[in-house]
Structure 1
Amino acid sequence: MVVLGRLVTPYGVKGWLHLHPFGDDPASWRHMAQWWLAPADGDKTQWSATKLSGLRQHGGGWVAKLESVDSREAAEALAGWYFAAPREELPATENDEYYWADLIGLRVINLQGEQLGLIETLIETGANNVLKLCDGDKEHLLPFVEQVVKKVDIAGGCMTVDWQADW
């Protein structure tokens, strides 16, 4: 399962919810046959399927309506839950586009062949995303931009970057 975002707070009284998407193309999610939900504090291996009945932009964000959620109270019960989809149901990526889930765990080496660590997570910032790498007790934060990221080899489990080990 690839986590796509979180259901945040109710919107209105008819069961709509504000979304916090973890991707940059939420509009494409309306074509998925179903969404999978899991509570924020629960077991992420136990997903329950639900159908989407509406998805639209609202202001600078997104709101969604799930078929089984018809009241504000039902929406409140889902606030904070994660939504996901099986990897094979997600839209294909373009060249040089990646799902965050595909980057987590990649080994990162620099142009000098030094291993910098494994990608632990990505951080959204206003300017660009940032890779958080961990290597034992060392941590690196690298901008996820073309000037730094030189090659991504998902199949090989490795990313090559133009970054010094002591930065």
Structure 2
Amino acid sequence: MGDVVEVIVGRVGRAHGIKGGVSVDVRTDEPGRRFVPGAKLRRGDGGELELGSVAWQRGKLVVTFVGHADRTAVEALRGVELLVDVPADEQPSESEEYFDRQLVGLRVLDAEGAEVGTVADVLHLPAQDVLQLDTPAGERLVPFVKALVPDVDLGAGTVTLAPVTGLLEDVE
């Protein structure tokens, strides 16, 4: 098998019902790929969990784990991070979408092609995703929309910003 990367896909939340169901705070853009019955997830604190059942209830992911048959058993898991190893070259299901791990570390270019910083993080805010950039002037936040970030070139390791006044500099 080729190179793999460790990805956090969720965090165990509150117990749901009395038969071992538990909510999961999903941390992946592709829960349908990561949360399927029989999938094995690593615990952030060590060990492994196997998914028993998976269901969406009122917009929340509710799962059971094999060997954790009741509420008491799953309450002990609350707060545990769920991790998987995925191929480093795995691509998102949709074109024009990117995994956070693909964007973090990319060089940021202005519209003229001059390097102005690097992508430090991707923030998933309620309104939209935002790129957190490290620049010589400090941290900057740029909404990750086509109008402001017209080009992402993973091969070249760059993202290019639109020529928008005040996007990276403080304007008075």
Common fold: TM-score over 0.5: yes
Runs of 4+ aligned residues of structure 1 deviating over 3 Å after TM superposition are 30-33, 89-92
Deviations 1:78-101 (A, max 9, x none): 211211221229674321111122
Name the CA shift for 1:19/1:116 in 2 (closer, same or farther; >3 Å): farther
Q: Which amino acid aligns with 2:147?
A: Q
SS state of the match for residue 69, structure 1?
coil
User: Which structure 2 residue ranges, 5 or more long, are not aligned?
Assistant: 1-5
Contact kept, 8 Å, 1:28 with 1:91, in 2: the verdict is no
Name the CA distance, whole Å, in 2 between partners of 1:154 and 1:75.
40
Identical amino acids, percent of aligned pairs? 26
Name the CA distance, whole Å, in 2 between partners of 1:113 and 1:79.
47
Instruction: Give runs of aligned pairs for residues 14-163 of structure 1, distance below 5 A.
Output: 14-31=19-36, 33-39=39-45, 48-88=47-87, 92-135=92-135, 138-162=138-162, 163=164
SS state of the match for residue 18, structure 2?
coil
Deviation at 1:143, TM superposition (A): 0.5
Contact kept, 8 Å, 1:30 with 1:54, in 2: the verdict is no
1:166 maps to 2:169:
yes
TM-score by length of 2: 0.79
Count of residues in Structure 1 that have an aligned counterpart in Structure 2: 160
TM-score by length of 1: 0.81
Computing the radius of gyration over CA atoms, which structure comes out larger, 1 or 2? 2
User: Which structure 1 residue ranges, 5 or more long, are not aligned?
Assistant: 40-46
SS state of the match for residue 86, structure 1?
strand
